[in-house]
Structure 1
Amino acid sequence: MEGLRTSMKAEAEVVKNLVDTVTSDKIKQVNEIEQSLLETLYDQNQNIDDYINYLNDLIKMFYGYLSPSNIEELTFALNSENLIIRPIPETSKPVLPVFTAGQYSKEDVTKLLGRITVPNIKPVNRKIKPMETASTQLKPTGKQRKQDREKSDVKQTLSLSPSVTKVREYTVPGVDDVYHISLGKSGRLWVSDWRGNLVQTDLQGNQLQKIQTSCGYGYHTVTQDGDLIYTDRNNKFINRITQLGNTITEFIKTGDWGTISVHSSHINGDLLVGMRKYNEGKITRYNKTGTEIQNIKRDDKGQKLYWYPRYITENINGDVCVSDYNNDVVVVVDKSRQHRFSYKGQGSKFSPLGLCTDVLGHILVCDDISKTVHLLNQDGRFLSLLLTEQQGVKLPISLCVDDENNIWVGQEYPNTVTVCKYLQ
């Protein structure tokens, strides 16, 4: 229901913007017509002024003949064939534009903004496949239920702020740029660059650990237990580093598929892994023990969903959100693997990079073309450009949201992380 309300507000905002745009265009048109009319009237006024000056000169000439001694000269001048008085200049009355008010009613506006309908569909009893529900049907623990209640309470009091506020900003040592961020426990984060440097720092920017990896985009994540999971694209392994130790262990072997991106679910702890083989990409879901439980490759029409899934995340409703490199699109499927929507940006060109979701279900994604961060609702409707160069973020490439609902933005250059507050 919150999604419906958000969609309706966004639809109304679009119409309001269109009304403002059309009104602005019409006012501009009126201004141009007014300027043209004023120029015409100015030219006519100039001609009339010239004619008045001509008549005054003629009157002065005739006054010179009014003395008795010049009566004969005046008579001769009036009867002369050379005396021709110029005609009065022609003028035209300007034709003013007319405004015809539009004809509309509440019903017209209702049609324009869409309708709310409840489909008359009987509930369908479905048999749940164990493959799809090994993790999604787990009953929440008491601790999990408490966390869900707390998140629900927070969600009811949060909304988008009218402006974005920078909380802090610091430089990350040991990396050339910030291609991906994974927030961990106890105020620690993992940051990676394009060269394969994977660095753990504290919130003061002090380096705690550094690992040399096979590089990539969104190729690491932190689990609910605080473990680091990262993919090894060259060796086709998914590795794990526990929170308590620094030993790297091979967690999952992916066979012929090269691993590109990974995300640890905040809902149930599943691992979502973006993979690629030949000319096809897929998303594979593993449970906490590393057992494969789901593959997402094609839509219900048999079309490929992914080409190169370089960043991946999960929304609060279980939607899997992926920024696809070659297709330049954000692909979203629901938890039952059904394609929900694809977002292709607002302009003619769009190249999605890092993306994340927040407690309200918003989808936030970096655009490499406009160098901005797009804000979408959970149904894929564009809401705004959340971050632009005006907020001091020039080259956003990676994103994540912390427990305090701040957005962390990694920049391609320099190696800087900017933390902003956008919810109130």
Structure 2
Amino acid sequence: QMAFSKSQIPFTAQHYLVCGTEDCEKNCQFYCNDCHHPMCEQCRDEHQRSPDTRNHEVVPYQQRKRQLPEVKCHTHVNRYLDMLCEQCQVPVCSKCAIKDHGGHTFTDLETVYAEKCGVCLNEINKIEEYFLPTSQDLLKSTKEDSNEIKKIMDSIRASMKAEAESLKRMVDALTSDNIKQVNEQEKSLLQLLNSQDKKYNDYISYLNELVKKFHDYLSSKNLQILMDEITKNLKIDPIPETTKPVPPVFTAGQYSKEDVTKLLGRVTVPDTKPVNREIKPMETVSTHNKQDREKSAMKQTLSLSSSFTKVREYKVPVIDSVHHISLGKSGRLWASDHIGNLVQTDLQGNQLQKIQTNGRFEGHHTVTQDGDLIFTDRKNKVINRIKQDNTITEFIKTGDWEPISIHSSRINGDILVGMIQGGEAKVTRYNKTGKEIQNIQRDNKGQGLYSDPHFITENINGDICTSDYKKHAVVVVNKSGQHIFSYKGQGSIFPFGICTDIVGHILVCDDNNIKVDILDQDGQFLSQQGVIFFYPRGLCVDDKNNLHVGNYQSNTVMVFKYLF
């Protein structure tokens, strides 16, 4: 936990760069390279009018020359190194120059130091602007190729199974036809044999009757009848002739593994030489990264103002309070109230569309990198997407957990969702396709990190910043889910809307003090801003570094400049 009262803030901690002149607290804009002194515009003018300093080199602060560190000479410990021997290429003090470097020429060490620092900064810029982004692009390319290979292999496996199923169906059909044919042949042969059975049964019955008749003759006492019948019936019918049926013969198929392979197909590796991944020339990348460089330069020069400066205000139609704001593309934004109304407007307050959700006081909607709006449906435990053609589709199912807050990462498009279930709470990370990739619920001691993560955002370094109303804290974890700090305000805080800016500040609405607290990315309190006759609840920063603040007692959004 890192929560500081004003008395605990070290005197060196400044929330914006101030003039170095005694008793002057104006914003620093300039720097004297001779005095190594930061100054405001007024002090610069006085500095250049003074006879003692009129010839000093005064430059914009970001172009300042770095001051030479005070390093004592190893030999003459009461002297500082301030010269560079050009022949020996070693830093020396004035005594070393006289004693050990006679006849040598010397250069001002501070000038050389500034040049070397410039070379270092140039190399750092090359690494940050070319080598790192290019390597990261290549890494991204390998990951994309990995995903593509997985898709291709899945497709091959599916094709193999489909071929096997097709052949199996063909085999089953052919086997069924063959069995049907055998059944018919069996039926015909059995019918033939049954008829032969009847013929022989009838003949045997005839013989049995004939034997009986002859026995009767033998027992008769009428000799005339015996003589007459024996003469007349002595002929016995011949045994019927039948044919033995010829059964069919099954000839087994003749096939080899190669024959089956031909039927099912085979996997082959193309005889193609792998192509090297394209590495863009530094000049090309520099051109493409011009906007990134401008943003990077802006990060280095922007400082926090001592107060908010109102730029303008606008009203969001239909709703009567602004609890959460999501900025989209082309100067459009979404704003929501406490009863589920979600309205899209332009920056003049003209209504573009409106939908009804079951959202409440939470930060339950966000705009993705593609410009689509996604919002939580805690009742049905899903996350919906509104595409730019205004169609609404179900995007992610959250199972048994109720999604209450959501944020789409500006770094990689991941989706961060604050959820609750019973007395438990967590933050879940999904990738841009909706696949769950991370759950953050407990600290390294097994304690629950969250109780009510009802607003959520991400800082420029990947930290996940969450307003937790029940814990009365802003809970911050790194991108791996490790707890970094919890900010509990200047006394106490009821945190609501939360956002971050281009230099890593964390801005959060304090419902207890009706103000906006500003922290650095390490959790140190920088300042607290109140807005007269205004009750801040929803927050977001636009691409011009203006802060939009929604009012929970009206439909007004005020826009402030706070970075200079």
TM-score (structure 1 length as normaliser): 0.66
Residue of structure 1 in register with 2:316 after alignment = 172
Q: Distance in 1 between matches of 2:326 and 2:562?
A: 19
Residue 542 of structure 2 corresponds to residue 402 of structure 1:
yes
Q: Which residue, 161, 185, 197 being the options, matches 2:341?
A: 197
Q: Compared with structure 1, are the counterparts of its residues 393 and 404 closer, same or farther at alpha carbon in structure 2 (3 Å cutoff)?
A: farther
Correspondence for 1:114: none
Distance 1:266 1:148 in 2: 13
Shift of 1:325: 1.4
| Aligned mates of 2:12, 2:509 — CA distance in 1 | 22
**Counterpart pick for 2:365 among 220, 230, 237:** 220
- The answer to which structure has the higher strand fraction is 1
Distance 1:303 1:138, change over 3 A: farther
Is 146-155 or 354-363 further displaced after alignment?
146-155
Return the alpha-carbon distance in structure 2 between the equivalents of residues 148 and 253 of structure 1.
Answer: 35
- How far residue 203 of structure 1 moved from its aligned partner, in angstroms, is 1.1
Q: For 1:276-291, what aligned pairs fall within 5 Å after superposition?
A: 276-291=420-435
Computing the radius of gyration over CA atoms, which structure comes out larger, 1 or 2?
2
Q: Which amino acid aligns with 1:395?
A: Y
Structure 1 residue 187: deviation in Å? 0.6
Match for 2:553: what amino acid?
Y
**3-state SS of the aligned residue for 1:201?**
strand
1:367 aligns with: 510
Counterpart secondary structure, 1:403: coil
Question: Where does 1:77-96 land on structure 2 (aligned, <5 Å)?
Answer: none
Query: Alignment partner of 2:527: what SS?
Result: strand
Q: Which residue of 1 aligns with 2:478?
A: 334
Counterparts of 1:331 and 1:381, CA distance in 2: 13
Q: Secondary structure at the match of 1:153?
A: helix
- Whole-angstrom CA distance in 1 between matches of 2:319 and 2:525: 33
Q: Which amino acid aligns with 2:539?
A: L
Amino acid at match of 1:240: R
1:323 is aligned to 467
Deviations 1:335-370 (A, max 9, x none): 1111000000001x3100001000110000000010
Secondary structure at the aligned position of 2:11 is classed as helix
1:236 aligns to 2:381 (yes or no): yes
SS of aligned partner of 2:383: strand
**Residues 1:378 and 2:518 aligned together:** no
**Matched residue SS, 1:11:** coil
The letter of the residue matching 1:11 is P
Unaligned runs of 5+ in 2: 1-7, 15-138, 144-279
- State the Cα deviation string for residues 219-243 of structure 1 (Å, max 9, x = none): 0000111100100010011000112
After superposition, residues 348-367 of structure 1 pair within 5 angstroms as 349-367=492-510
CA drift at 1:163: 2.8
1:268 to 377, 393, 412: 412
Aligned length: 291
Query: Structure 1 vs Structure 2: percent identity of aligned residues?
Result: 65
Using CA pairs under 8 Å that are at least 6 residues apart, name the structure with larger relative contact order, 1 or 2: 1
Deviations 1:68-93 (A, max 9, x none): xxxxxxxxxxxxxxxxxxxxxxxxxx
Aligned to 1:105: none
Match of 1:293 in 2: 437
Let me know the Cα RMSD of the aligned residues: 2.2
The alpha-carbon deviation at position 11 of structure 1 amounts to 2.1
Question: Which blocks of at least 5 consecutive residues in structure 1 are unaligned?
Answer: 1-8, 16-136
- 1:379 is paired with a residue of what secondary structure? coil
In the alignment, structure 1 residue 158 sits paired with structure 2 residue 302: yes
The answer as to whether partners of 1:393 and 1:418 remain within 8 angstroms in 2 is: no
The CA distance in 2 between the partners of 1:351 and 1:297, in whole Å, is 21
Task: State the distance in 2 between where 1:177 and 1:412 align.
Answer: 4
Counterpart code for 1:175: I
Supply the distance in 2 between the matched residues of 1:195 and 1:277 (Cα, whole angstroms): 21
The two structures have a TM-score, normalised by structure 2, of 0.50
Counterpart among 530, 536, 540 of residue 388 in structure 1: 530
